Amino acid sequence: MATWVAGMTNPFVVKGTTTRSEREYTVKTSQAFLQGELIRINTSGQIQVAALDSDTTGPVHGIALANAATYLSGGDHAGETIPLALFNGDTVLGIQLMAAKDQDDVTIGASYLLAVASNKWTLTVTTTKGIATVESKPANDAWFDPDSASDNDTGVVNITFSQALLDARGAAA
């Protein structure tokens, strides 16, 4: 029986590096992302929730290290810059697969769409307009761990975002 349940975790850094924001960014008005969610930097240099697919230039740039509401009007740090962990080309993230899907439903090297519900991010099994590339499957690396079994629904896979996606700063304003 799998120990993973839907919505158990948000993406987390498995290996590689992240960069603390080199520039000071504020949160775009009306954003409701929470700490640990994927974010992007829009053309105005503000932080907003990440996009799910390649329809948006620069869909993902990092992870929020705080809740958006804290940095918006009325929050404890209203108007201040928000702490971020920006991804680099070598950053590998662990992300849960969507409900009823397991590691056998994705292919290493293929890029998939993201999904988010109730502030929890998952990887879909749809490749059309995909942005998150499967880098590895824990079942291949930790075959001895039953929690990493390839047939565990909503299990975790390791993903990367291409440097071209990370470099793009053309998200919708």
CA distances, 9 to each of 24, 30, 110 (Å): 27, 24, 22
Instruction: Give CA–CA dist 106/166, Å, rounded.
Output: 22
Instruction: Give CA–CA dist 51/54, Å, rounded.
Output: 8
Q: What is the per-residue burial (b if ≥16 Cβ within 10 Å, else e) of 33-58?
A: bbebbbbbbbeeebbbbbbbbeebeb
Domain boundaries, the chain: 12-167
pLDDT category of residue 8 using cuts at 50, 70 and 90: confident
Sheet holding 18-20, edge to edge: 18-20, 84-87, 62-64, 38-41, 46-49, 26-27
pLDDT at 149: 84
Residue 2, both tokens: 């799998």
pLDDT digits (tens, 9 = 90+) for 68-122: 999 998 889 998 899 999 999 999 999 999 999 999 999 999 999 999 999 999 9
pLDDT category of residue 173 using cuts at 50, 70 and 90: low
- Cβ distance 157 to 9 under 8 Å? no
Q: Which helix (H) or strand (E) holds 96?
A: strand 92-96
Share of the chain above pLDDT 90, in %: 69
CATH topology of domain 12-167: Virus Head Decoration Protein; Chain: A, (2.40.300)
